[in-house]
Structure formats: C-alpha cells, structure tokens
Amino acid sequence: MKITAVNAYPVKEWRTFLFIEVETDEGIRGLGEAGLTGHERAMIGALDNLRELLIGEDPFRIEHLWQLMFRGGFFPAQRIVSSVIAGIDMALWDIKGKALGVPVYDLFGGRVRDKVICYPHVRGDDDEQLVADCRRAVDQGWRFVRFDLPADGERIDPGRAVRDGVSRFKAIRAEFGDDLEICMDVHTRLDPSDAVTLCRQVEQYRPYFIEDPLRSENYDSYRMLRSRTGVPIAAGEQYSSKWEFRQVVEEDLIDYARIDLAICAGLTEARKIAGWCETHYIRLAVHNPIGPVSTSACLHLNLATPNFGVQELPRRPGESLSDLIVHQPEWSDGHLLPPTRPGLGIELNHDALARYPYEPKPLGSLRRDDGSFTNW
Ligand SMILES: [Mg+2]
C-alpha cells in the first residue's frame, strides 16, 4: 500500500477545526485532526511541506514516518508542525486498523476497560448559575464537572478570580456532596502566589484536579507549587512532544498528564508519554477540547491505556459536526463506549464539507484591570 494524497479540510462550526485525510492506492482513507486552534492557515502551510515526505510511502510504517516528519527538517518539530504530524499520525493508525479490520485500540494491545469516563464543561457567571449548570450535567448522567477559573467577561482580577473560584468549589460541593468529581481549569491565568492561594484554599473541597494553575514554560514553578499544596495537579496541554513532558513526569510534578493528541504529535507520541507516566503512577486526562476526530483518537488511547483518569468531552457525540464526521462513538451515563468499526471508527462525509465554510475565528483574550494582557 502506498500513500497517494494528504488533504487538509479546515471547517468552522462552534469553533474552527482542521481535519486531515490520508489517501492510499488501495482506496483506504484515514482521518485525523490537527489541534492548534486559531493557526489553521499555518498548519495547512506546514502540511504542504510534510506532504512531500509522505507521497509514495507505505502507510503501515507509522513510526518511521513519524521520525521522518518530526526530525526530517533537522530542527525538532514544535507546536505548528507537531500538530500537523498529529493529524497525519491519527490518519495512519486509522488506515492500519481499516486495512487489518480491527479497531485502533486492538493495535495497542486491546481494551483494558469496558468504557471511558468523561467530563463535560459547565458554566455560570456566579455560584448559583454554575450550580444550576452542574445540575443539568448530573441529570444527564455525567459523573464529573469542569469549570474555568472565573473571569469577568474579558477582564480578570487575579485576587477576585481566586476568591470567586474558591466560592464556586464550596457551592458545588455543598450542593452535590461527595459523589461528584470536580475539576477546575485555571488556564494558566495566575501567577505563582495567587495559584498557591487558590490551591491551598480549595484542598478542603477535594478537587479531582486543578488544571494548568501556572504557565507551562518554567518547570521549576511547578516544583515550587508542589511543595506548597497537596492538591492534585493536571498539566501538559501546551506541550508538543515527549521531550517537553520529560521533566514534569520524571520529577513527579503532575498527577494527571493533559496530553493533547492533536497537538502533541499524535497517538504514536501519546503512547510513549503514557508509558513513561505509568512508571510514575501519573494518570492520563487527555486534553480534548476540539472536534470529533480528536475525541475518537482519545477514546481508542484511553481504552487501551491502564493509567487512565478521565477524558475531556465538551460536546457529546452527535452534538458537533454529526453530518460531517459520521459514525461518532456512543455515549452513555457519562461514559464513551468502545467503537467496534475498524480503524478509528469514524468517517469524513465529504458531501457535508460545504456546510461548514472555514473562516478564521480568533480565540478569546483577557486583560487585567489596568488594561495589560494576561493569559486567556
Ligand atoms: Mg485546559
């Protein structure tokens, strides 16, 4: 089998997406997703270079092609390129599963669990609104909730955000008792002193994890935070390779690895990071805020990975792009169920592409009260 084409399909629905399709001379097509939202045009440009490496190659040689793409430009791939590699890598696993007639999780050694627990996003501008949205989620069958560190529209005052965040935790725990798992995404919005205050004050409400309490560039800051709070920490969605994960894993600086399969160079790279995490008893909480192809890739990884915690799932299957990405997996009672179709189990319906014309959509932004930029 040989690769004959590599296609990019940028689309826009509730957010922008970039799907990647690999075609072969045997008629089997694989599907992937590149996840660096907001940079679709740069990723398409990077794909134009990578395509030249792939045409005519054997799609079964996934590791070889990964090395070629990641290291072939001499300079290690970062973010933009690793996101495109991610989409291609998913498509190659999809092709291999389809060619062999098995789901991708069977290529990873088979299922180690019967279903994959997931968390939704909940929202509310105050404690009451947030609790009401949590109630909606619980009534639907979810066992987890996840909310953002509160901001005031496009403004954020760190002290007020910390106080409001603690108040949100208290309100949710008071309403639902111990049976609901609670996650908070700080989204790298806080400086270390505020992050320490937040983490210490919410310990009493037993968070499942606090996500990205600090920016990701300086690992030593995580060591500092670790020494000052016992709260479980989740991080990693901004990392784009195993090398960027190395220190937080080896020094036990995180409890949950937020690998983004659509940014961090795909299933091939995620499998290696997962194995590394296993030796440190770090569990996976894959970052999956984007589209249904990423969701399916995450599902196959989580079905076959022993050290798993929870999967992010902001939209249930069928709630996003259901006519474009067909055969999305089943969801029941807060869990995704194992697909039985070969490969990733999903297909791109080309006829629906025209319904989602791409247009760039900037990500949000946040300012402090004095107008200065801060992380979104
Ligand atoms: Mg996050």
Residues 304 and 183 in one domain: yes
Q: Cβ atoms within 10 A of the Cβ of 218, count?
A: 11
Give the separation between CA 142 and CA 307, rounded to whole angstroms.
21
For ligand 1, the distance from its centroid to the CA atom of residue 162, given in whole angstroms, is: 17
Looking up residue 95, the CATH number of its domain turns out to be 3.30.390.10
For ligand 1, the distance from its centroid to the CA atom of residue 237, given in whole angstroms, is: 7
Give the separation between CA 198 and CA 216, rounded to whole angstroms.
17
Residues 184 and 257 in one domain: yes
Question: Per the domain annotation, does 308 fall within a domain?
Answer: yes
Give the separation between CA 50 and CA 179, rounded to whole angstroms.
47
Residues 93 and 235 in one domain: no
Residues 85 and 118 in one domain: no
Give the separation between CA 79 and CA 263, rounded to whole angstroms.
6
Looking at the structure of the chain, the number of domains it has is 2
Residues 139 and 259 in one domain: yes
Question: Per the domain annotation, does 295 fall within a domain?
Answer: yes
The residue whose two tokens read 């249904």 is: 292
For ligand 1, the distance from its centroid to the CA atom of residue 210, given in whole angstroms, is: 10
Give the separation between CA 131 and CA 177, rounded to whole angstroms.
12
Give the separation between CA 362 and CA 286, rounded to whole angstroms.
23
Residues 170 and 210 in one domain: yes
Phi/psi of residue 350, nearest 5 degrees: -60, -30
Looking up residue 275, the CATH number of its domain turns out to be 3.20.20.120
> How large is the average pLDDT for residues 202-213?
98
Residues 44 and 144 in one domain: no
- Residues 6 or more apart whose Cβ sits within 8 Å of residue 51: 6
Give the separation between CA 96 and CA 249, rounded to whole angstroms.
30
Which of 217, 211, 284, 213 shows the shortest CA–CA distance to 78? Answer: 217
Residues 94 and 154 in one domain: no
pLDDT tens for 234-248 read 999 999 999 999 999
Domain containing 76: what range? 3-103
pLDDT tens for 313-356 read 999 999 999 999 999 999 999 999 999 999 999 999 999 999 99
pLDDT at 81 exceeding the cut of 90: yes
The residue whose two tokens read 């320490």 is: 196
Question: Per the domain annotation, does 350 fall within a domain?
Answer: no
Residues 96 and 145 in one domain: no
Which of 236, 290, 337, 305 shows the shortest CA–CA distance to 87? Answer: 290
For ligand 1, the distance from its centroid to the CA atom of residue 145, given in whole angstroms, is: 13
Which of 294, 276, 309 shows the shortest CA–CA distance to 32? Answer: 294
Kindly name the residue from 187, 280, 300, 327 that is annotated as catalytic: 187
Choosing from 103, 135, 164, the residue where a domain stops is: 103
- Residues 6 or more apart whose Cβ sits within 8 Å of residue 252: 226, 280, 282
Phi/psi of residue 218, nearest 5 degrees: -110, 105
For ligand 1, the distance from its centroid to the CA atom of residue 3, given in whole angstroms, is: 35
What pairs with residue 367 in β-bridges? 155, 373
pLDDT at position 275, please? 98
Question: Per the domain annotation, does 268 fall within a domain?
Answer: yes
Question: Per the domain annotation, does 360 fall within a domain?
Answer: no
Residues 173 and 318 in one domain: yes
Active site residue 287: yes
Give the separation between CA 318 and CA 215, rounded to whole angstroms.
33
> How large is the average pLDDT for residues 357-375?
93
Choosing from 77, 103, 129, the residue where a domain stops is: 103
For ligand 1, the distance from its centroid to the CA atom of residue 147, given in whole angstroms, is: 10
For ligand 1, the distance from its centroid to the CA atom of residue 227, given in whole angstroms, is: 22
Question: Per the domain annotation, does 374 fall within a domain?
Answer: no
Tokens of 325: 């990405």
Kindly name the residue from 287, 300, 327, 335 that is annotated as catalytic: 287
Question: Per the domain annotation, does 368 fall within a domain?
Answer: no
Tokens of 367: 């300012």
For ligand 1, the distance from its centroid to the CA atom of residue 91, given in whole angstroms, is: 25
Residues 234 and 264 in one domain: yes
Question: Per the domain annotation, does 346 fall within a domain?
Answer: no
Residues 91 and 135 in one domain: no
> How large is the average pLDDT for residues 128-156?
97
Over the range 251-290, which residues count as b (16 or more CB within 10 Å of their CB) and which as e? eebbbbbbbbbbbbbbbbbbbebbebbeebebbbbbbbbb
Predicted confidence band of residue 43 (pLDDT cuts 50, 70, 90): very high
Give the separation between CA 270 and CA 262, rounded to whole angstroms.
10
For ligand 1, the distance from its centroid to the CA atom of residue 287, given in whole angstroms, is: 7
pLDDT at position 362, please? 87
> How large is the average pLDDT for residues 74-98?
97
For ligand 1, the distance from its centroid to the CA atom of residue 27, given in whole angstroms, is: 38
